[in-house]
Structure 1
Amino acid sequence: MGADHNRPAPPTPPGVRRVLVATVVPLFVLTVIAAVVLWPRDGGPEVDGGSPVPRYHGTVTRVVTEECPPQPETPEGGGPGVADGPCGTVTVRVEQGPDAGQQVETPIPTGPGAPTVAVDDRIVLVKLTDPADPAASTYNIAEHQRGAPLIWLAVVFALAIVAFGRWRGVAALAGLAATFAILLTFVLPGIGAGGSPLPIAVVGSALIMFVVLYLTHGVTAQTSVAVLGTLGSLVLTGLLGTLATAATHLTGYGSEDATTLSMFRGDVDLHGLLLAGIIIGSLGVLDDVTVTQAATVTELAHANPGLSRLQLYRAATRVGRAHIASTVNTIVLAYAGASLPLLLLLTADSRPVTEILTSEFLAQEIVRSAVATLGLIAAVPLTTGLAAVVTAAGRTAAGHTAEGHTAEGHTAASRPGPADGGDVPAARTPGGGRRTADRNLALEALGGGRAAEGFPDDHAPTHPPAGRPHREGGTDTAW
């Protein structure tokens, strides 16, 4: 009989599976124990931010613009000026609060970042009370309501992922939900409660990695290799980040957000927070690279079972180099895009370029990009080497099993041939009939049905029998 192209990949041999379980399970248990130890027990110190300003939803029903009144003369002796526009009033129907259903008038928002309103816009009102007369209050427009557009965008986002990824897309959405859950229930509350940001970020990232990778890609040997590669690269990224921030004497006060946070939460370690941000930011790119490298090794071994462990490593590393070359630019552009206002501000700085590059504001962005890239580069050989070892070990174990069956008397030579009145045995190569069929199938897919150069005629790609459906077989090594 011919090879079955629709069969799944063979399961991982028990010996290889035991080694992976003995390696991954203790790491997962240690991560869970560390999360329990570091889990925030309270909400941290109370922050007196004052009583919040009441905010209510409303809908714009009328906009009246008018000429802005002249301003008084400036102290420098200049003539009267004109106030920055636009000027006028906005009538809003209040939908919440004590004045729900009533029409109120507010001034047209002005100033930098003020929202531009029109009739039927759904906006957010803030109610301001006069300290001298608590009974007197006024409304001002704060911003637009963004709930409905964000919900529609999230729905389109989820539908696109599910439509393209199908069940894998559903798993990806579940992994995204798990990521937000860990960040919002463990990482942020733990740091906010005064915990050390670095260990919390490492443990939180490890939790996210275990949950997301296994949930999205399944409990397979290939996923376990990606988990080990990601975890090793995360630890290396943390060590490199610690050394780099210490060598450059970064304090963590390199942004306006960090400075503002220090005013409200003086107990937060901003230097540790910087390291935590580097680790969590690197995780999203690391799991992409490690999963890709593990899958590449598996696909190469499936397409050409004759490749040795070293050949698998070299071939997959070439793919990893191309991936890293594009990802490095992605990391730099991601940080540059997030810090674009800062970069524009620095371009207007009159200081020399060397002083700007070594300033706290820009130095921390350079350290972020460099450390994340170094951790990413280390992930390629680490994950590729682990995947090559696991794949070669699994193939060797499967080969020994096949030889054991042959020794029991199931060889082609012991079967009755045509001269004995038996069936003609299927043609076999030294690598096994299934191995040749797998390689022929891969060559057919890559070469469009033409025999590849360098292969004998009896190894040329074959087409599936007529009338038989051809489906793409999975290559994830099942546990």
Structure 2
Amino acid sequence: MPHGHAHPHAARPAPASARTRIVLAAALLPALLATVWGLLSLWPAGGEVPDRAPLAAEGSRLVDATVTGPLDEVTNTYPIETADGTASRMQAQDGIAAPEPGEGVVTLYIEVLGDEPAPYAFIDFQREAPLALLAVLFVLVVLLVARWRGLAALAGLGFAFAVFMLFTIPTLLAGHSAMGVALVTSSAVMFVVLYLAHGFTVRTSTALLGTLVGLALTAGIGAWASGASHVTGASSEEAMWLPSLAPGLDLRGIALCGLVLAGMGVLNDVTITQASAVWELREVAPHAPRRVLFARAMRIGRDHIASTVYTMAFAYVGAALAILMNLWLIDQPLGNALSSGEIAEEVVRTLVGSIGLVLAIPATTAIAALAVPRLEPATGARPDGADDADDTDRDGAAVVVPR
């Protein structure tokens, strides 16, 4: 039978020691300085970024319109009314979901010579309203459930988006080192997002340090895997189109940068979870040796590894379902299908991200077990490191930590 010791005044972890804070600062400060230096040195000058191409060719423009009637199968056109009230007809596109009367569409207006009416061609559906409604619903749900923590997370998400748009994409288009851009972007985002969402604490610092270790491992393994598997980055039509607008672009580097950035969010999730697990275990078992904290937290980490690896694999299957269906319809060996360009790139991304994730969990757990504060002396409490690992929680109930 397990047994426990009840104490009238349970010991609680003391604030982190000055030594722990100094060690964490000494580990994180060089990374912060390197990130700032990387931002300043890699930030592209105005002339380095290629000019943006016009969305519509000269003599044409995009026009919002509303479908006012059904498809005329003889002329293959829909009756429409443009935003300024002009009634006209829109050419349909084969293979595209048919718009219903009353739906908003985006059309391409092309000027023509002569007395013929100017034609409109279907380009896409108008999605601004439903997307804006979904975004508002997302923000409200996050604020309702997570409150101030949710607000901080949303602010961090906005910062990350700003970094991607203002630094990452222009710098890659300018032809700068994709590996440098990946590491600087992920480090800058993690420094701000983690402290903003979780507070400037020792616990957050341990999670951040574990995240940076995981990112470095992911980048190193990804660089080797991309070269060994001949990932070219030119596996999609959109990627192959990029060099025509940005001649200095390195498609293989873009693929590597995407690999590192793709693993950033999952790493953040697991490292925060592991750091929090160690701190919570210390709260309920303040006399447990650090090796016991590490062992118990790793049990949580192993469960997290299993679920997160599934998440990454299933996320890819959902995003690439059409590609997988096309491969299934082609009669070829499974090995050939999985090693084809576009599939191989995603397989490398998933496997490398998973390896970095798995390695980050024990690293973060070990750092947290070393950094978690020792006991704060209390009446009736035993000294830290006592042989008996059982203890009492804050409410005086017996808590058992098996040896």
Instruction: Give me the TM-score of the superposition, normalised by structure 2.
Output: 0.88
Q: Give the match for residue 34 of structure 1.
A: 38
Q: What does the per-residue CA deviation read over 1:196-229, in whole Å, with 9 as the maximum and x for residues that have no partner?
A: 2111011001000001000000000000001100
In angstroms, what is the RMSD of aligned CA positions? 2.8
1:91 to 80, 101, 121: 80
1:105 to 66, 75, 88: 88
Over 3 Å counting, the alpha-carbon distance change for 1:105 and 1:227 in structure 2 is same
1:430 to 367, 382, 385: 382
- Find the aligned partners of 1:356 and 1:330 in 2 and give their Cα distance: 22
Q: What's the secondary structure of 2:63's corresponding residue? A: strand
Return the letter of the residue paired with 2:63. Y
Q: What does the per-residue CA deviation read over 1:299-319, in whole Å, with 9 as the maximum and x for residues that have no partner?
A: 111110111111111111111
- Find the aligned partners of 2:249 and 2:381 in 1 and give their Cα distance: 66
Q: How far did 1:58 drift?
A: 2.8
Q: What's the secondary structure of 1:126's corresponding residue? A: strand
Q: How far did 1:253 drift?
A: 1.6
Q: How many residues align?
A: 389
Return the letter of the residue paired with 1:127. Y
Q: How far did 1:360 drift?
A: 1.8
- Find the aligned partners of 1:327 and 1:52 in 2 and give their Cα distance: 50
Alignment of 1:459-478 (within 5 A): none
1:21 to 6, 14, 25: 25
Q: How far did 1:262 drift?
A: 3.2
Instruction: Give me the TM-score of the superposition, normalised by structure 1.
Output: 0.75
Q: Give the match for residue 316 of structure 1.
A: 297
Alignment of 1:252-401 (within 5 A): 252-391=233-372, 394-395=373-374
- Find the aligned partners of 2:346 and 2:183 in 1 and give their Cα distance: 20
Return the letter of the residue paired with 2:50. P
Structure 1 unaligned regions, length at least 5: 70-86, 403-425, 445-450, 456-479
Matched, 1:124 2:77: no
Alignment of 1:39-118 (within 5 A): 39-42=43-46, 44-46=49-51, 50-51=57-58, 53-60=60-67, 62-66=68-72, 68=74, 87=76, 89-92=78-81, 94-95=82-83, 100-101=84-85, 103-107=86-90, 109-118=92-101
Return the letter of the residue paired with 2:79. V
Contact 1:303 1:438 in 2 (8 A): yes
Over 3 Å counting, the alpha-carbon distance change for 1:134 and 1:176 in structure 2 is farther
Q: How far did 1:67 drift?
A: 5.0
Return the letter of the residue paired with 1:128. I
Over 3 Å counting, the alpha-carbon distance change for 1:45 and 1:440 in structure 2 is closer
Structure 2 unaligned regions, length at least 5: 1-6
- Find the aligned partners of 2:202 and 2:14 in 1 and give their Cα distance: 12
Q: Which has the higher contact order (CA 8 A, sep 6+)?
A: 2
Q: Give the match for residue 474 of structure 1.
A: none
Over 3 Å counting, the alpha-carbon distance change for 1:325 and 1:64 in structure 2 is closer
Contact 1:123 1:143 in 2 (8 A): yes
- Find the aligned partners of 1:41 and 1:88 in 2 and give their Cα distance: 47
- Find the aligned partners of 2:362 and 2:206 in 1 and give their Cα distance: 12
Q: What's the secondary structure of 1:177's corresponding residue? A: helix
Return the letter of the residue paired with 2:23. V
Q: What's the secondary structure of 2:105's corresponding residue? A: strand
Over 3 Å counting, the alpha-carbon distance change for 1:181 and 1:9 in structure 2 is farther
Return the letter of the residue paired with 1:32. V
- Find the aligned partners of 1:205 and 1:112 in 2 and give their Cα distance: 39
Q: What's the secondary structure of 1:111's corresponding residue? A: coil
Q: How far did 1:113 drift?
A: 1.6
Which structure has the bigger radius of gyration? 1
- Find the aligned partners of 2:105 and 2:265 in 1 and give their Cα distance: 35
Over 3 Å counting, the alpha-carbon distance change for 1:142 and 1:134 in structure 2 is farther
Q: How far did 1:24 drift?
A: 1.7
Over 3 Å counting, the alpha-carbon distance change for 1:111 and 1:22 in structure 2 is same
Q: How far did 1:269 drift?
A: 0.5
Contact 1:106 1:141 in 2 (8 A): no
Contact 1:115 1:143 in 2 (8 A): no
Q: How far did 1:376 drift?
A: 0.5
Q: Give the match for residue 441 of structure 1.
A: 394
Over 3 Å counting, the alpha-carbon distance change for 1:52 and 1:302 in structure 2 is farther
- Find the aligned partners of 1:442 and 1:374 in 2 and give their Cα distance: 40
Q: What's the secondary structure of 2:124's corresponding residue? A: strand
Q: What's the secondary structure of 1:54's corresponding residue? A: strand
Contact 2:392 2:399 in 1 (8 A): no
Return the letter of the residue paired with 1:24. L
Over 3 Å counting, the alpha-carbon distance change for 1:298 and 1:216 in structure 2 is same
Q: What does the per-residue CA deviation read over 1:308-365, in whole Å, with 9 as the maximum and x for residues that have no partner?
A: 1111111111110010011111111112222222111111222322222222222212
